A and B are shown apart, each in its own frame.
Chain A
Amino acid sequence: MRETLSLTINGASRQVERGTTVAAAMLLAEQPCRISVTGGPRTALCGMGICFECRAVVNGVPHRRTCQLLCEQDMAVETNP
């Protein structure tokens, strides 16, 4: 049986399989990870921690690279403004 956990993404509660990265969870939730300098929505590009497009606010801390971060129970994730 696959273990799931719940976290909030931009205020909405989401269930994901344990082992899911925060970037993958945001893609599932169809929420952008960050808003670009000129206002465009951005999500992960490289998947390996070098492009920084997947930056999001995690538990109140901005600029966290979400493609290398595993989801944890009750994590609060928001789009990086």
Chain B
Amino acid sequence: MKPFDVLIVGTGIVGSAVARECARIGWRVGVIEGGTPAGGATAAGMGHVVVMDDSPAQLALTAYSRSLWQQESAQLPKSVEYEGRGTIWVAADDEEMADVRARQSLYDEAGVQARVLTAADLAHEEPNLRAGLAGGLLVPGDGVVYPPAAAGFYLAEARRLGAEVFFARALSASQGQVLLSDGEGLVAERIVLAVGTECDLLPALPIQKRKGHLVITDRYPGFLHHQLVELGYLKSAHKIAGDSVAFNIQPRQTGQLLLGSSRQYGNEEPRADAEILRRMIERATEYMPGLDKLSVLRVWTGFRAATADKLPLIGPAAGLSDDPSLWLAAGFEGLGITNAPGAARLLVDGMLRRASAIDAAPYLPARLMEPARLARA
């Protein structure tokens, strides 16, 4: 049997995006899924397509990937529910407003459209926000998608272009060989691990689980127009230890409201945590008091894959592993949805040794192991 050009472990949004990119260049592609397609981190993602500026590399990647979402938006099927809703970063006080103005300049320099909103502007844009907030930053190019359908779309496209999907767990993946739980053995020139937080195939993967909670309401069309994120969100996302919550709410195309967010380290319990949920909801109702009375249909949790420097691992696993066949598309934390198309392009650029639209160096897995290798030398 002729080996695959690439085998991708994982049909989440990242794995599926990679599968599609690889299929597009005419490669023989195999995709391996041991559970429900897109049923892992992708199913727990909020689906926010957002430019995030917590570092220049993050800004570059999210802006690039967001532009790919925008370019493709008209071709996406209805089930993907892409909407150019825009984000408003909400400033609660003058200190946060100063932050807003600083970020506006940063976005401006990066070529990302963003507008400062006064308190009056904010109230006009989102009447259900409480009075007394200072204003915000409106980023109109941000969007919202329904992640499982987006992953499903990418995977369907990959299959249309010839990719094969194997519904079995990968028991081992190394040196170009993958052994599946149904006994089948597959051979490939390259193996891509796009596994969310399930790292058993490569224990050296420096990924930590960060648990998050989500709440979705019944349909309340018109209650909310943009995705709203409090400026404190970045502080929460930045913390490398401890539990935190931050106000983050999204209007879905159905008129439902999707509410987050929370981050917990070192918690592997899949059930919802009543205390964290309470803090998350209380934080949200501080910004939008009317949320209290809305009917909640579901509460669920998910695990984000976090790296120490908050940037994803996109490229050869060299540095984490001596295996030349292994590639990684992992560690996306809360930006898996946003960064999936961009990461897929970067990964394939790396495999083809061609230039990328943005500098791929900050995301190379090897960056994380450099000190350790030096220490060993």
B130-144: contact bitstring with A at CB < 8 Å (1 yes, 0 no)? 000000000000000
Q: Does B172 contact A (CB under 8 A)?
A: no
Q: Does A63 contact B (CB under 8 A)?
A: yes
Provide the residues of chain A in CB contact with B300, threshold 8 Å. Answer: none
Give residues 212-231 of B contacting A (CB, 8 Å): 218-221
- With a cutoff of 8 Å between Cβ atoms, the chain A residues found around residue B219 in the complex are 63
Interface residues on chain A, number (Cβ under 8 Å):
5
Q: Does A27 contact B (CB under 8 A)?
A: no
Q: Which residue of B lies closest to A64 (CB)?
A: B295
B78 within 8 Å of A (CB atoms): no
Q: Collect the chain B residues with CB atoms within 8 Å of residue A81's CB.
A: 221
Question: Which chain B residues in 177-223 approach chain A with CB under 8 Å?
Answer: 218-221
Which residues of the partner chain B approach A63 to less than 8 Å between Cβ atoms?
218-219, 295
Kindly list chain B residues whose C-beta atoms are within 8 Å of the C-beta of A48.
none
A61 x B218 contact (CB < 8 A)? no
How distant is A55 from chain B, measured CB to nearest CB, in Å?
8
Check: B2 CB closer than 8 A to any chain A CB.
no
A47 interfacial contact with B, CB 8 Å: no
Q: Complex formed: what's the CA distance from A37 to B255 in Å?
A: 11
B220, A62: Cβ atoms closer than 8 Å: yes
Minimal Cβ-Cβ distance residue in B for A61:
B293
In the complex, chain A residues whose CB is within 8 Å of the CB of B293? 61
What's the Cα separation between A21 and B340 when bound, in Å? 51
B128 nearest CB across to chain A (Å):
15
Residues of B within 8 A of A (CB): 218-221, 254, 293, 295
6 other A-B residue contacts (CB within 8 Å) besides A63-B218, A63-B219? A37-B254, A61-B293, A62-B218, A62-B220, A63-B295, A81-B221
